[in-house]
Structure 1
């Protein structure tokens, strides 16, 4: 976790990228204790890297103790202490943590880790809205995976975020904190949206924290390629054009926390714990 003015990390070897992403998945609970990992060749195909890269990444994870070798052909997740300790106790003021970042930055993984550590519900835009969004896009005569067209951006996207904020408000009205994950690219650069959102949640008695997840371009591409989501096909087909259209130096136009998911950065779980500690230090 860094301050907004800290220099950006450099790109890193594929071995470290793969190891970190698998570590993030374990800490986020996507890969669970005792789960058998795919074979080396399957992982190499899944990540689009060499068998050597996978073996080197596994050596790192085995040294860390979060993966163990069961045989020459089997490796298992070893994370018995992965269950959260729920260190954040209920208070009179719910807290809403908005987690934003570019596609492939690791925002969903960080959100899951934060939710597991606190026991707070996680509200992810895609999870909440994707089926309805895909149906709406088809009804408009567009591809269900369109996330680039003007019609999507002007007609569908605003409704996605409206639904996300409505779900957030409902949790706060029940006295619950929440972790809210989405790209938030427009929202985090819109002073009016930021002020309106903070004021509306403050009126409901909630405290707001904004988090921006940063990672380098190569790491984003590796993760996006790995997850293979249809909605990312336009990005992958025109990667250079996509990069030209984003600002890797982007930061929210409001007080915020930067979480680094790049070379030499601390594990996301460590950065989540630091953020939680800052919550506990506040009244």
Structure 2
């Protein structure tokens, strides 16, 4: 009976049988992707709380490509720099942050992306990218730099309704979001919820009535790796 149950699970690809009766769990089932002939860069942007990092993690689990997230990569350095400059480590709204520190964050993030591509490795890069993706010159330059290294750029923008973003921001409880939540109405007025990048792109919806991100990620990868 146990052997029969194992056979059924194997048929459904929920376990993978190995020699000498070894088995490993395969849940969620693997997405079978063709190996890309050229490195791919999936650049995932979206406002705070839109779900861009969650999408990035799903894509990374499905592809096993490295994921470079701006907050994970740069936050400790940013917080230390802000404190040394006499600011709150959680400041993301001041002129000092926006004009002096933010550009350096993105410079470091893009440098990490380029280094992976120079090694022939695909990468998933997650950050808001709101200013960058509105700038056609920045988009074209980034795509050209990647093409020069034999890599393809795929831009993804994660769109989400304001209430879902606020709910997610509250749930994660990050100190850097305190100012946004305290001034939510003013913050939302400054967002373009219908934003589209200035370059060819894919819109992923993470609003309350959207399809699960897992499904959308699998569909995206089927196109990217075709």
Which residue does 1:272 correspond to in 2? 217
Larger CA Rg, structure 1 vs 2: 2
Q: CA deviation at 1:84?
A: 6.0
Distance 1:82 1:248 in 2: 35
Residues 206 and 213, structure 2, Cα contact 8 Å, conserved in 1: yes
Normalised to the residue count of structure 2, the TM-score between the two structures is: 0.86
Is 1:143 the counterpart of 2:88? The answer is: yes
Which residue does 1:241 correspond to in 2? 186
Which residue does 1:90 correspond to in 2? 35
SS at match of 2:129: coil
Q: Deviations over 1:132-181 (max 9, x none)?
A: 01011111111110000001000000000000000001110111100000
Distance 2:222 2:192 in 1: 30
Which residue does 1:155 correspond to in 2? 100
Residues 172 and 206, structure 1, Cα contact 8 Å, conserved in 2: yes
Residues 68 and 126, structure 2, Cα contact 8 Å, conserved in 1: yes
Q: Give the CA RMSD over aligned residues.
A: 1.2
Which residue does 2:139 correspond to in 1? 194
Q: Deviations over 1:69-92 (max 9, x none)?
A: xxxxxxxxxxx6445625334333
Shift of the 109–84 alpha-carbon distance from structure 1 to 2, 3 Å rule, reads farther
Give the counterpart of 1:212 among 153, 157, 160.
Answer: 157
Segments of 5+ residues of structure 2 without an aligned counterpart are 1-24
Residues 84 and 117, structure 1, Cα contact 8 Å, conserved in 2: no
Residues 36 and 225, structure 2, Cα contact 8 Å, conserved in 1: no
SS at match of 2:41: strand
Shift of the 124–84 alpha-carbon distance from structure 1 to 2, 3 Å rule, reads farther
Is 1:227 the counterpart of 2:175? The answer is: no
Distance 2:89 2:223 in 1: 41
Equivalent positions of 1:80-119 (< 5 A) are: 81-83=26-28, 85=30, 87-119=32-64
Which residue does 2:13 correspond to in 1? none
Which residue does 2:14 correspond to in 1? none
Moved >2 Å (runs of 4+):
80-92
Segments of 5+ residues of structure 1 without an aligned counterpart are 1-79
SS at match of 1:240: helix
